[in-house]
Each structure stands twice: as C-alpha cells, then as structure tokens.
Structure 1
Amino acid sequence: MELEEARQLWHRLSEQISYHNQKYYVEDSPEIDDFEYDELYRRLEQIEGQFPELVTPESPTQKVGGEALNKFSPVIHAIPMESLHDSFSGQEMKDFDRRVRAAVGNPTFIVEPKFDGLSVSAEYRDGVFVRGSTRGDGAVGEDITENLRTIRSLPKKLTQPIPFLEVRGEVYMSHRSFFKLAALQELEGEKPFKNPRNAAAGSLRQKNARITAARELDIFVFNVQQVTGTELHSHKESLDFLKKLGFAVPPFYRTCNTIEEVLEEVGRIGELRGTLDYSIDGAVVKVDSFSQRQMLGSTAKFPRWAEAFKYPPEEKQTKLLRIEVNVGRTGALTPIGIFEPVELAGTTVSRATLHNQDFIEEKGIRVGDMVVMRKAGEIIPEVVGVVCHTEDSQPFTMPEVCPSCGAPVVREEGEAAVRCTNPECPAQLLRHLIHFCSRDAMDIDGMGPAVIEQLVEKHLLSSPADLYFLKKEQILELDRKGEKSADNLIAAIDRSKANDLYRLIFALGIPHVGQKAAKLLSARFRTIDGIFQAEEDALASVEGIGGIIAQSVLQFFALSNTAHLIGRLKDAGVNMSCLTAVSDSRFQGKTFVLTGTLPNLSRAQATELIEKHGGKVSGSVSKKTDYVVAGEDSGSKLTKANQLGVAVISEHELEEMLGENS
C-alpha cells in the first residue's frame, strides 16, 4: 500500500471510529457490536504501524474513547483513567508476556474479569464518600456524585477513616435488573436500552438522581488510584485492602506466575460468561507488583503493565423452524424465530427476535433456512445472517390482522413496526392501562404499574373503562392494600371522572396524538361526540394538527372497539366535554415559548394561563415566536431568542400582561 492510499484509508477509518466512539461512550446508543468496532480499530492500528507518519494526537488510537458531557460539571483526574490495550489471541498475550519479562524479569500476574459497564472514580476523605466522576476522556470526566450515592453496593462510609482514597470501578446493571427495566420501558412505550452496558451508562448520566436510584445499578471496584495514610505494594494487596474497607471487588481473581497459567485462567473466565448475572467482555491481566508497574510505565493511552483479552462473539449455525408473531404491549407485532436449540455463551437458545419485516427481507431470511446465531453483548440472541436456503424454505410476510384479537394492523409511514389498531386488544392491555392512568393522562394517583398488573392478573381489568366499576372489596384483595389505601384509590378514580376532555383524549392512546394535540382537538371540537363526527378536512384544518394526525384520529374513532370503550366511559360518568374556557382573546395569534425554571409557575401552569387567554405555547423558538418567557437556567432557547430579536419576558412581566386575570 502506498502512502497516499494509506492516508485516505486512515482518514476514513478515523472518521468511522470517532463516530462510533460518540455513539457508544457519549450517546449510549451503539450502532455496531464490540467485535465490529474492534476490527475497525485494529485495522487503524495496523496502518499506523506501517505508516507512523500518519499518527497524530487526534487519532482515535491516541485517545480514550469518551468525553465529558456539558450537562455535568467537569472533573480533572489527578491520576489519568487510562484505557487498556486489547489482545484477541493466545499469541498476542504471549507477546505481552514477553515484553513485560524483558523489562522487569519474572513478574507475577493477577487475572480478573473485564466488566462491561461504565468506568468511574470514587473519592473518599476521612473514610467518607465525597465525589464521584466518570472516566470521560481519561483526563477530564463528569461529576456524577449524587448519582453514585444511589448505588447501594458503593460504600458511603468506609470501615476505616482513611485520610484520602480514590478508587476506580465499573458501574454495571445486572441481567435481572436489565430485563426488569426493559419490560417497564416497553410497558411505558419507551425504546428499551440495547444491552446492560448502555442501560448502566444511560442511567448513571441522568440529571435526576431519583431515576438513577430506580435503575438498580451496582459496582465492582478494582483499582486504587490514590491513597494517603497507608502503603500498598501490589494489586493483590490492594484488592484485599479494598474488600476490608467495604467495597465490592471482583468476585474472583487468580495469581499466575506463567503465561500458561494466565491463558488457562482467561479460558476459565470465558467459560463462566453464560453463568453470570452481569456482563463481562473479556479478562484483564495485570502485573501484580506496583514497583514493576512503575518501571513499565504507560504509552500515551495504555498502561504497559496490563492487557485486556477480548473474547470473540461465539457464533453457531442452526435451522429456523418457524416464525411466530407476538403482539407487544405497545401494539407492535414482532416476528419471533423458533430455532433448533443451540448452545451459545453457556445457555441453550431456541428463540430470537427477527425485529420486523424489513430486517427479515434485508437478511434474506426464509422459514427453513440454516442461519448463523450469536449473543449480542453476551445476553440477547440474534441472527447474524443466512448460511443457505434449504429446498423447502418458504418466504415470510407479516399478517394483515392482529394474531391476538383479529383487528386490522397498520404500518405507519416512516415506521418499521406493524401495529394492531384495536385500543382494547388483550395483548397490549397492560401498557394502555398504565398510560391511561398516568399523570399527564387521567392522573389516577396510586394506580401505578404494580397495582394495574395485579388487577389484570386477577381479571378485574380488561379495559380502561373497567377502572370506573372497581369496588373497594376488590382492591382490598391486592397485596399491601388496606382500608385507607383502598379508599384513597377509589377516591382518585372518582376524581378523574371530572378531568378535562383533553386528558381523556390523550389517555386513549391515539397514535401520534400527544398532550398538545389532545388540547387542540378538545378546544376546537369541545366534546368527544364533536371529534367522533368530525370529517378529515375539519380535523386537518386545526392549526397544529395536520394530515397525519387527522388521519390517525379518524381511523381510531372509526373502530367499533373505540365506540364501545367511549360508551362504557360515558356510562361510568367520565366527563366528555372541554372545560377549559377562554377568558379573553388578548393573546389570540400570539406564540409563546417557555424556557428555564420560573419562580412561581410550573410549565403546565404557565401553559394553561397562556392558552386560557387565546395564546399558543410552542416548544421551539423561531421568527414566528412572539415572546420567550425565561426563568433561571435558561439555555439555548434564550440564546436563539436573542439572536432572532424575539421579545424576552419574565414570569412577572407575563403576569403584568394578564393584569387581574393572572
């Protein structure tokens, strides 16, 4: 390869790797798996080895993967949080052993699992936890102290009052917690995290520590970064020391004196992967002696005294026997492949999602095919591709009606998913009920997912309308429901009958109809019957609705199931009329944008005030915006308003504009 050709390839690979670093480390939404990423990275390393003149400080090989996000305060790491160099074969591990021995003689190694989570630092003064941060780019991370406080397995006070201690660990989410979170996200109509690593990273970077606390994160601590008040001479000694202080250290690690022992332990850890409740993607081999580590030093990115062995994804061939279609709790139809059982990463696999029709066509999958399977992130089975079509293989197409209830299915423009149109479809009942009762919908206090799930399991709820016919004695049958809580829940259900119409419209879960569109429909047509009788042109003519929403509303109210549901809600005494009256039209034709934290009003209260006086509240600033109402910590919306010359007012000025009506 000539230099110019190598330079072009270097630029192409650098751009790809930088893009995937951003998706993995910063956005927590990787688009390729670790194996594909490692292949790109190793190719770049090979080119730079052959053409050293191409190496720059900005090369991905010279930087730790992540970067500090601007939503958290930066933390400068006194001791850099380095990355590890990866090996993928026994020969590469032997090369590492040879380099170490050439520098320090006869080392002792510690071999431990390489956890697949988010690397963090935790600092303690006088034995008390004072600060936590992410690795970031290795030199600067993010302050996530409050979020780390929510992790129960991280001690907040050590068993000894060490003057100062900084440790490094890996925050992870157990497989049990991951599947629990994924089920909840599906129930609430959210996009589930792809794997436990992304779930842990996304949970740890929440601005609201309460969300982090609810995600059930854990941590393994495996390194002492800095310490005063004691002397440590080896890694083994430091792990024992950390354990005495109350930290959760790697649950197994082995001392090895030869490369043969190292490779044996690396193989043993690899065989354990499928039996663990947390994800590991390799094994880490570290020189035990701290004095020898000092002699070995580091490169610009990696310590020379440690090496990570990365396990390749295990792939096996099997036969696709048939495809079943499941209806998810969001109404999405998902094809599930049923395969001849195969052993993968320590477990027997016979089922895997085939995602959607597009995925099946893209991979060329037919029933009866021999396919290659592997586990993504060592946890979720996936089809990599087709090996060959058998003589009797058959193409597959998604059904035209829901396999659960028989209602027609639709595929919205721009969506890959096919969805059931029935609002009372049994397969998506739980998700509909949770949405119906949620704060922004009918706001039934106390009717959370756990209570709804119990009611469904006891066959007391098969439709949102059933909520309004529940009896106190039925609620008393639920776990941890006494007289008072049962009375409170019945009262909350009863109060929700008086809600404004827009809440009911939003609660119905009409595709594409959010709270804002629900308010527009309520204000324009005033009653549920008015919406029932509206033609598509009338719906589309409402400012802020448009053709897609109008068609979705029309289709929803044309269903016999919808008429049945509304009829039962009417019989229960649920309000079907718009209660929001426009006090006056002083803000008619005016568009407001809210930004920052207002001193007295919540966003919802400010929006209600503006809409009550004929105004419109938008989520983004443009030349058509008339006023931006700015509070504390206003961000990019305020900047854009100033750039466009849009009038910026305070909450007080908004109240002055309203006069006595405020």
Structure 2
Amino acid sequence: MTQDIAVSELTEDQARAELAALAETLAAANDAYHRDDAPEISDAEYDALKRRNAEIEARFPSLKRPDSPSDQVGAAPAEGFSKVTHAVRMMSLGNAFDETDVEDFDASLRRYLNWPGDEPLAYTAEPKIDGLSLSLRYENGKLVQAATRGDGEMGENVTANARTIDTIPTEISGAPDVLEVRGEVYMRHDDFEALNESQQAKGGKTFANPRNAAAGSLRQLNPEITRARPLAFFAYSWGELSEPLADTQMEAINRLRDMGFQTNDLTRLCDTTQDMIAHYRAIEAQRATLGYDIDGVVYKVNRLDLQARLGFRSTTPRWAIAHKFPAELAWTRLEAIDIQVGRTGALSPVARLTPVTVGGVVVSNATLHNEDYIAGRDSKGEVIRDGKDIRIGDWVQVYRAGDVIPKVADVDLSKRADDAEPYAFPTTCPECGSDAVREEGDAVRRCTGGLICPAQQIEKLKHFVSRAAFDIEGLGAKQVEQFARDCWIAEPADIFELEANYGSGLQQLKNREGWGEKSAQKLFDAINERRKIPLARVIFGLGIRHVGEQASNLLATHYGSWDAFITAMQEAQGMDGPAWDDLLGVDGVGQVMAASLIAAFGQEAESAAIDRLAAKLSIQDAEKPQIEGSPVAGKTVVFTGTLEKMTRAEAKARAEALGAKVSGSVSSKTDLLVAGPGAGSKAKKATELGIETIDEDGWLDLIGAS
C-alpha cells in the first residue's frame, strides 16, 4: 500500500489503488475476527487501516468504493448454527484515537443538532469491553433467544449456550413485553489462565487471549462445553423494545441493572469533553487491575431523544464513539520473509518472527505491506523509518494491540549481522514463475500468470464458492483445493461438470477418500441448486478485481439482466461511447473499477471462461428495491444549494431511509433535484435535461415531513 505517504500527498491514482487494497485487506480481517474467531491482524492495525481508508475517502469522496470498509460491520455468520435476523441491526462504533478526535466528535454532533456551543451536551462514558457482542431477546420477562452480532443484520442462534452463563438471567421482572438486551460476553483474566492450564493438561486447544477464549466458548455446538467455561456478560445497550426503557442512556442502563443484568460500575455521566477525557484517563490507569480486557472507552449521547435525532450512518451510530487505547510494542527477530500470492495476483510479504509475547499474547507473524515498506521508502522513493530497510535476521520492533499479526514498526541496526543482505523482492511469481509486475500507481507487485497461476486459480475458485458468491454447500476451500490439485476443476464452469465427469465410471467421487455415496450426491445436488442464481452473485463470483459484493449488487440493479450486463461490457470495450458513459454513471463505479470490468471481459481467455460458465446457469434478473408507500423509492435524488430546515446529512439519511438513492451529481439518471438557495450548475443542468426540480418545502411536503 501507499500508507507511508501522507493522505494529503496522495495522487488520485494512488488513492484508488490504496482504497482497493484496503477494501480487500479489511474484508479478510472482518471474516477472520468476527466469523472465525481467529484474527489475522491486530486491533491497532485494523483501526489504523480503517481510519486511513476514511481519511482517503474524505479527501477523494468520488473514489469511495461500493464495498468500502466504512460501510461494513462484522462478518457473515459461521456454519453450524441456525441464523437469526436481528429486528434492529447491530452496529459497530466509530473510533477516536486522541483528544482531538473526541473534541471533533462533540463538535460534529453540535453542528448536526444545531446545539449551542455554550450549552452542555451530556454523554455517558463506559469501558469498552474486549469480548463478543451478544443480543438477548426477552418476551414477557423470559429469555427466548440469544444471537451473536454476525454481519450486523444476521447472527448465529446461541440461545442454549447463553442460558448456561450465570450473569445472563433467564427470567426478569419489570421489563417491557419485548426487550432485546445487548452487551458483551467476556472472560476474566484469572478464569482465562485457569482455562488454558486445564486445556493444556488435557492436551486440548489453548487460547491466545481472553476475547478468543470467550468467543470460542460461546460458539460451541455443544452447550455443555459452554457451561464448563467461565463466561460473564456485561449489558450496555438494547435493540427492539415494545416500550422505551427511559429518557436517557444512564437511566436505561440503571433500569437494566435493576432487572438483574450486570452493568459496568465504571460508567459515568459527563457534561463536557474535558470530563470525558478525564474519565478515559481514570479508566486507563485502572486497566491493568480490572481483571478483564478493555480496549478503550465508549462515549454515548445521554438523551435518547437526541440519539434518535442523530440516527445512524451505514454501519455506525452518530451518537456514539469508541476512544481507543494506544497499541503495544515488543522486539523480536525476523526469521524469514514469505511471499503469498492472492486472488488478484498480489504478492504480499509476510514476516515470520521468533515468537514473542506482547501484552500477554504470543505472536509469530507480521505484515510487511509491500516491497517499498521493506526497502525503507514510500512509493515516491522518500525514506521512512529514517531509511532503515528490513532484512532477514534483523531485530525488529513489532506493534500490536490485542491480536495475532502485528506490524513491523522499526529495526535495531546495532544488532544487524555484518553479512545481512538487503532483501530482494521477487520479480517473478513464486507459484508459477510468471513475471510479477508493478503498474504505475499500484502499491503492490502482481503476478501476470492469471489462470495459469495455481495460487490465483485456486483463490479465484475459492472466491467463486464463497458465501457471498455461489455459496455451494459442501464445496468449501478445502474441497476446491482437492479438486484443483487433482485437475478436476480449473475454472468455475468445471464445477458444474463434476457430476457428469466424476459421478460415475472409474473416477467416481464417492470412492475418493473423505467422500461417500451420500456426501457425493449431496454435493452434486447442491451444485445443481446453484444453476439458478441471482445476477449479483454471478457478478461477484467472477472475482473481478475492484468489484466487491456491494458493487456487484449495484451493477446488477443497474443492468437488470445478464444479457444486458454482458452486452454493456462488450459495447464499452473502447472505453468511450454511451455504454462506457453509462457504466461510469452507476453510483459507486469509478474509472478504476470500470477499467477492471472492461479488462476482464476484453481478455479472450477470461471472457471465454465466463461464457462457458454462463451457459451452464439460469441467471435471475435483479429486482428493484421497493419501499411500500414511499414516493421516492427507487428514485435517484440530488440535493443542491443551501437547505434551511434540515442539514444536508439529515436530508440524505431521510431520503435513503425512504428507498431513494442519493447522488452527488446530476445526470440523465437523476429523477429529482431538490434545490435550495444558492443552487448553481446542478440546477442549470437539471433544467437542460428536463429533470423535475423542487425546493426544500416541496421536498418536505413530498415525504410528509412538513
């Protein structure tokens, strides 16, 4: 990545490339942390990457990707549990890393609410527990359901397991008829140490930290295993309610405590940002003696009516923020540098470290980002780390804040061996031997082998069968590797020939190790079920660089059918003309993504593979989203000029809540322009295009908010 270049110095091309790399890295990190309970990067690095992503998007708003990490929460639920759809989405939190961020948070809320600068705006401040989010649903005072956060919209049903936790009451009194209590499952330090000692004595799995232990214990298919684990639960929020709990956050938390829930006694009410920061410092000073892990302090607007006014962004509430604690450091030896080849051909260097304990967690791997980072320079050739490069055998400083893979932050040259050689980043792919090239503006070097590269081939096939793509039951990463290794599949279309080729005869799947007649037939049935599949899943499953899940949904909605999509991609090959302009007009599709799409369908081998796949499928047309009774559902709305009765942010949020798509520019796709005083070029263009234009009062009348 170009992350060693200040955001203010990034070129537009560098920004595009880095946003693409960040989207891929953070999506993988979300799956590892939230779904697999096996984090691959540290909390601090995750926060830093997500913050840099937001900073780049703020500077280049037109480059924000449809699969932006800013719009992601958690990860899809794991297999093995039934699924629960949350009545009220479980959100994540925005982050603050210093006092300035906290002050900016307060200032932004005051602007949004038009709150007088000299009038107190009260907040609660509470420790941020480092555990696993859990939602508990009570009906008529009885616990009827418990679910993990999952991807925020759908989680795992862990009701039987939650009932085994002592601090989760199964019956409560004085509660609304429907009460969804939310909080964090965690494990105390002494219990964690005792569990690891017991596991080691039995020859069982030990855990890296209390958070992983708590998550792994709660997500056991056998509730008796959960019962034997020392888990606890802090309540700090709520979801669906049949009636309000109170008028303020603090009163609501106190009411939950009175019902029998464990709440954190370090929660305080603060009238100013100075009070908030002072309490943050007080909690930070107690951190080592609390007996459980925390990674920051959460601030929430106290008045619930103000929370309602402030509402939500796509993944986070506006009225809350997490003030994170600083990361931790340690020194160890760099034993080797391995190069991993990803689905898009990216060569990613990974440091293999002499295992070292950092903050109670043993770590042995670290990210090295790219060849520039190893060489001690940024992509412009300017020095970082005072110009110190990284060499195998070096004594390096690692940086983490709670999980497994940290970042190499520094090098101790005084301990470098005299014969240490500068690291030569490979210019050929270690998997297939093809040239590994670095395009202008790209932060990484990529293998040019494409489908002939085993790493890319297998990774593309793994992506094809992934949950958000074709999601074929019984065909996961392990099976893909097995079939590819045996040359049974080399491209997605081959999957739909497995039954014809290996369902009978000498090479029957049922006779393979790990397979039987029932499991083989079950796989064939699952594959056949996926012959009929929505357009968006097909587009995402192709694994085209820069085209994520959300972008695939946008493209599917825009083009409607596979034939229309394919025709558009073919007609746009010259990267000019109506088809190209139409592609760029899709909200969220920029030059980089559009060029990647065109390239995929313009390469003869890849295009032919796509055609072979499509011939085996019945691809369903996309459905337009509809919101019953909304006058603007499915329409594209543009706001321009000065809005006097609501802020631009409130207007956008309200329009999107009613099913409209809000765009920043006027085009032939625009349905409605809302123009306030000072409207300029957008209003003129709307008139030229014959687009309906109304003022703010007309907008409020239209949506019934006058």
TM bin (shorter chain):
0.5 to 0.7
Q: Distance in 2 between matches of 1:43 and 1:627?
A: 46
CA distance in 1, matches of 2:326, 2:123: 23
Aligned runs of 1:56-455 on 2, under 5 Å?
Answer: 56-102=65-111, 103=113, 104-105=115-116, 106-160=120-174, 162-228=176-242, 231-315=245-329, 377=402, 387=412, 389=414
**AA aligned opposite 1:247:** F
> Are 1:19 and 2:28 an aligned pair?
yes
- What is the distance in 1 between the residues matched to 2:200 and 2:515? 38
C-alpha distance in 2 between matches for 1:377 and 1:178: 15
Query: Following the alignment from structure 1 to structure 2, what is the Cα–Cα distance between the partners of residues 643 and 62?
Result: 31
Letter in 2 for 1:42: R
Question: What is the DSSP-based 3-state SS (H/G/I as helix, E as strand, rest coil) of the residue aligned with 1:272?
Answer: helix
CA distance in 2, matches of 1:236, 1:626: 56
**Residues 354, 383 of structure 1: 8 Å contact kept:** no
- Cα–Cα, structure 1 residues 624 and 297, in superposed 2: closer, same or farther, change >3 Å? closer
d(CA) in 2 for partners of 1:152, 1:205: 16
Shifted more, 118-127 versus 44-53: the winner is 44-53
Letter aligned with residue 132 of structure 2: L
Instruction: Tell me the CA shift for residue 272 of structure 1.
Output: 1.4
CA distance in 1 between counterparts of 2:236 and 2:391 reads 41
Does 2:60 align with 1:35?
A: no
Provide the C-alpha distance between the structure 2 equivalents of 1:288 and 1:642, rounded to a whole number of angstroms. Answer: 54
The verdict on how the C-alpha distance between 1:374 and 1:50 changes in structure 2, with shifts beyond 3 A counting, is closer
Q: Which letter does structure 2 place at the counterpart of 1:245?
A: M
Which one-letter code corresponds to 2:13 in the other structure?
E
The SS at the match of 1:35 is: helix
- Specify the SS of the correspondent of 1:277: coil
Which of 516, 524, 547 is the aligned partner of 1:628? Answer: 516
Give the conservation status (yes or no) of the 8 Å contact 1:318–1:373: yes
Alpha-carbon spacing, 1:260–1:382, altered in 2? closer, same or farther (3 Å):
same
Give me the whole-angstrom Cα distance separating, in 2, the residues matched to 1:17 and 1:148.
29
Contact 1:23 1:29 in 2 (8 A): yes
Secondary structure of 2:314 counterpart: coil
Once the two structures are TM-superposed, the CA of residue 5 in structure 1 deviates from its matched residue by: 2.9
Supply the RMSD in Å over aligned alpha carbons: 3.8
Whether the 8 Å CA contact 2:148–2:156 is kept in 1: the answer is yes
How many angstroms does 1:640 deviate by?
A: 3.2
Q: Deviations over 1:205-251 (max 9, x none)?
A: 21111111112111100013233356410011011100110000112
Residue type of the partner of 2:223?
A: A
CA distance 1:268–1:314, shift in 2 (3 Å): farther
The answer for the alignment partner of 1:504 in structure 2 is: none
Q: Deviations over 1:593-620 (max 9, x none)?
A: xxxxxxxxxxxxxxxxxxxxxxxxxxx9
Alpha-carbon displacement from aligned partner over 1:161-198 (angstroms, at most 9, x marks no partner): 64221111001111122222222333343442221111
Tell me the SS of whatever aligns to 1:225.
strand
- 1:373–1:19: structure 2 CA closer, same or farther, 3 Å change rule? closer
Name the counterpart of 1:639.
522
Which SS does the other structure have where 1:224 is aligned? strand
The DSSP-based 3-state class of the residue aligned with 1:170 is strand
> Which amino acid is the alignment partner of residue 160 of structure 2?
E
Residues 508-523 of structure 1 correspond to what in structure 2 (within 5 A)? none
Name the SS of the counterpart of 2:168 in structure 1.
coil
Measured after TM superposition, the shift of residue 638 of structure 1 is 4.6
For residues 526 and 135 of structure 2, what CA distance do their matches in structure 1 show? 40
Q: Percent identity?
A: 36
Q: Does the Cα contact within 8 Å between 1:172 and 1:218 map onto a contact in 2?
A: yes
Distance 1:354 1:224 in 2: 36
> Could you tell me whether the CA contact under 8 Å between 1:167 and 1:224 is conserved in 2?
yes
**Pair 1:6-2:15 in alignment:** yes
Cα-to-partner distance string for 1:293-328 (whole Å, 9 max, x where unaligned): 112111111111111101111447899xxxxxxxxx
Shift of 1:365: 7.3
Distance 1:135 1:292 in 2: 25
- TM-score w.r.t. length of structure 2: 0.49
User: Which digits, 9 at most, give the CA deviation of each residue in 1:539-598, with x for residues without a partner?
Assistant: xxxxxxxxxxxxxxxxxxxxxxxxxxxxxxxxxxxxxxxxxxxxxxxxxxxxxxxxxxxx
The 3 A distance-change label for structure 1 pair 298 and 381 is closer
> Residue in 2 aligned with 1:512?
none
Q: Residues of 1 paired with 2:405 and 2:66: CA distance?
A: 37
CA distance in 1, matches of 2:406, 2:80: 35
Distance 1:374 1:266, change over 3 A: same
What amino acid sits opposite 2:42 in the alignment?
A: D
**Is the radius of gyration larger for structure 1 or structure 2?**
1
CA 1:219 to 1:11, structure 2 compared with 1: closer, same or farther past 3 Å? same
Q: What's the secondary structure of 2:412's corresponding residue?
A: strand
Relative contact order higher in (CA < 8 Å, ≥ 6 apart)? 2
Matches of 2:242 and 2:229, distance apart in 1: 33
Question: Does the 8 Å CA contact 1:622/1:644 hold for their aligned counterparts?
Answer: no
Aligned residues: 385
Q: Is the 8 A contact 2:245 2:255 kept in 1?
A: no
| Cα distance in structure 2, aligned partners of 1:626 and 1:217 | 36
**DSSP 3-state at the match of 2:516:** strand
- CA drift at 1:364: 6.9
